[in-house]
Chain A
Amino acid sequence: MGKTLAEKVWDDHVVVKGEDGAPDLIYIDLHLVHEVTSPQAFDGLRQAGRGLRRTDLTVATEDHNTPTLDIDKPIQDPTSRKQIETLRQNAAEFGVRIHSLGDKEQGIVHLVGPQLGLTLPGVTVVCGDSHTSTHGAFGAMAFGIGTSEVEHVMATQTLPLKPFKTMAINVEGELRPGVTAKDIILAVIAKIGTGGGAGYVFEYRGSAIRSLSIEGRMTICNMSIEAGARAGMVAPDETTFAYVKDKPHAPKGADWDAALEYWKTLPTDDDAVFDAEIFIDASELEPFVTWGTNPGQGVSLSGEVPAPESFDDPTDRAAAERALEYMDLKPGTRLKDIAVDTVFIGSCTNSRMEDLTAAAEIIRGRKKADGVRVLVVPGSARVRLEAEAAGLDKVFTDFGAEWRFAGCSMCLGMNPDQLAPGERCASTSNRNFEGRQGKGGRTHLVSPLVAAATAIRGTLSSPWDLEAAEAELVKDGVA
């Protein structure tokens, strides 16, 4: 029997095969480090008198706490400042390469690996951050780990890991214009639930996935964790190779040739068997939005807020009741009638050039709705520079949006970018948990296109609504 992509990558990284129920010891090719989940790990090394085994496979950046305004001034929050200073001291002490605030390569850790060419097909990637699954878009096996495991990787460059099951997420057909990778993954999570992927590594397959860019694939793999999966992967193909080639740290010359030869052996064999499979028809998908407080609580934007009674499972019903109370929504409300206070375009899910370009195309030449705050936060300093070179910053600021410096920002509100209690936000991020974007804040997860259309109209909207509104004006002879 053949092997799946995930099984191939795993098998090529087994250092010691576990016996009698013990986990396999897996080698880690790339360890990404940021300020929040690393200080206690560095401390652990110090206390045990251990060094960091492979500084050449480790890279650090500052993202969760960093301000997105006035980055040339000292960070005002003393605890945030201390955490970032601690990372800088630890990186210096242990010899870790660091991209600090102000550096061209600084940014959200899951943008930094790919843009440097450190994230490659067929490698293992870990980081003390659950959205490490993002890197699976390259055909890497990538997962988030806790601080104890961060310390373990620092000390040994390995992790003891239990075997996993495989699930094929087959997405066939062509997406309609206005429907994006974000809508695919929100639909997947709504279908299988936040625990549906527990124990699995996902492989996203099918024509709709193949036709996505690497950036779209990153958006999808990024949210694998929201379905409970350990990781999500896409088989590497010509799209992947073209993206990786010539990145600063990508293999060169003979190394590139050897890598390419190996990468082409990675796709799942025809006779391999997945432990589970689901099927999604891409051509039926519409722009998607969440109405509740977990990422599985989502529906098509053309729909309504569901009634708790419509859920058969009593746990789901109770969760829906609680979510509607927190979100201050009534069953039967049309999603398009929901007005927002803030629109956030950013996060490791949707802050790359393609996301910003798509949003900018929608808003170009228009003005934002009155009273709506629009925050655009590029994922990395490099993305910010590229966007400015393409003139996107001007498009956003002319629209009335705030154009910020790179970081995690309002995805989790560890820096000053937060929602006020009761504020409602259309957000291109990945989690609509209670209080995630600020205490008492209410989050609707959306694609960059929906975020842009919502910023124009002030209510949850897709580009389809803009076209419909314009057609109406033409019909009435106004335009």
Chain B
Amino acid sequence: MEKISTLTGPIVPLERSNVDTDQIIPAVFLKRVTKTGYDDALFHSWRQDPAFVLNQEPYRHGGILVVGNDFGTGSSREHAVWALRDFGITAVLGPRFGEIFRGNAGKQGLLVGKITEEATEALWAVARANPGEPVTVDLEARTATAAGVSHPFEIDDYTRWRLLEGLDDIALTLRDEAAISAFEAKRPSWMPTTQDRTPQARTQGAS
């Protein structure tokens, strides 16, 4: 994963709330077995409308997406993050997000920052007044700055650190291999197993 410190791009205003992951990428595009090439699928239904924001210049090539409440709710499909990334969205700012979506974004190097509803409105207003106006997202300082105004954003310390360092989660966890093995050694034998239970145990169970 690449390290992120600051990101700059046009404010892409998506002035809607409750944008679920079925809207971000419809299920029909989930049949692929690859992890890239989803740019055409992003907001596929809404993009049939020429007036939709992502069909407009200067938003056709991505930027920093600014969204309403409850963005990324619903299905766990990580394809939603891949599609945003493939389209050229490098960060998403908004007041409230679906939790699985936010987790997926963090794993894939897509910065998701929580800003207030007031800051959301302010950034939308900047984009309305001056389409293409850039916003600079500073991960170190946790600020989003546009038209000379800085808005703080929230991101948890751990995700921020991983994004700043560009660290792979699995490699990090495997440093704890000894702890995982020790935990496994203590797990009780009644725990689930997809293998057949032993014949001896089965006999006991029948008695």
Chain A: residues with CB nearer than 8 A to chain B?
A: 15-16, 18, 20-23, 25, 27, 29-30, 36-37, 39-40, 43, 48, 50, 55-59, 64-65, 77, 79-80, 82-83, 86, 97, 118-120, 123, 128-130, 143-149, 151-152, 155-158, 160, 162, 194-195, 198-199, 225-226, 228, 230, 246, 249, 251-256, 258-259, 262, 293-294, 315, 318-319, 322, 412-414, 431, 433-436, 439
Contacts and interface: CB of A to CB of B under 8 A. Distances in A.
Given A130-B75, A146-B78, A148-B108, A16 B26 contact: no
26 contacts: A25-B173, A25-B180, A27-B180, A40-B35, A57-B192, A57-B194, A58-B194, A83-B33, A123-B191, A128-B78, A145-B76, A145-B103, A146-B103, A155-B173, A195-B70, A199-B99, A225-B100, A228-B73, A252-B205, A315-B17, A318-B17, A413-B28, A431-B22, A431-B74, A433-B74, A434-B23
A55 B192 CA distance: 12
A79 B32 contact: yes
B106 to A, nearest CB: 9
A254 B204 contact: yes
A149 B173 CA distance: 12
Contacts of A256: 190, 205
A57 B43 CA distance: 36
Given A39-B33, A86-B33, A148-B78, A253 B205 contact: yes
Interface in B77-132: 77-79, 81, 96-100, 103-104, 107-108
Contacts of B26: 435, 439
B173 A118 contact: no
Contacts of A413: 27-28
Given A16-B176, A198-B97, 15 more contacts: A25-B179, A27-B180, A118-B194, A120-B191, A143-B100, A155-B173, A156-B180, A226-B74, A251-B201, A255-B197, A412-B75, A414-B28, A435-B23, A435-B45, A436-B27
Contact of A144 (B23, B79, B100): B100
B16 interface: yes
Contact of A251 (B68, B195, B197): B197
Contact of A83 (B31, B45, B205): B31
Interface size range on B against A: 35 or more
A362 B45 CA distance: 37
Contact of B188 (A160, A228, A258, A315): A258
A160 B200 CA distance: 37
A56 B195 contact: yes
A15 B176 contact: yes
A252 to B, nearest CB: 3
Nearest to A42: B33
Nearest to A257: B190
A123 B188 CA distance: 11
Nearest to A408: B27
Contact of A130 (B79, B100, B192, B197): B100
A246 B205 CA distance: 8
Highest count of chain B CB atoms <10 Å: which of A22, A55, A120, A252: A252
A40 B68 contact: no
Closest 10 CB pairs of A and B: A253-B204, A252-B205, A146-B104, A148-B107, A146-B78, A251-B190, A259-B190, A39-B33, A21-B157, A255-B190
Interface of B: 16-18, 20, 22-23, 26-28, 30-35, 45, 68-70, 73-79, 81, 96-100, 103-104, 107-108, 156-158, 169-170, 172-174, 176, 179-180, 183-184, 187-195, 197, 200-207
Contacts of A147: 35, 78-79, 104
Contacts of B32: 79, 83
A50 B73 CA distance: 31
Contacts of B69: 195, 315
Nearest to B98: A228
Contacts of A145: 76, 100, 103
A304 B172 CA distance: 53
A281 B171 CA distance: 49
A27 B204 CA distance: 29
Contacts of B103: 145-146, 149
Given A37-B76, A59-B194, A433-B22, A146 B100 contact: yes
B35 A43 contact: yes
Nearest to B22: A433
Contacts of A79: 31-32
A220 B17 CA distance: 25
Contact of A21 (B35, B74, B156, B200): B156
Given A37-B76, A319-B17, A435-B22, A249 B192 contact: yes
A156 B174 contact: yes
A355 B170 CA distance: 41
A79 B31 CA distance: 6
Given A21-B156, A25-B176, A162-B156, A30 B170 contact: no
A294 B195 CA distance: 40
Contact of A252 (B34, B75, B100, B202): B202
Contacts of B17: 315, 318-319
Contacts of B207: 253
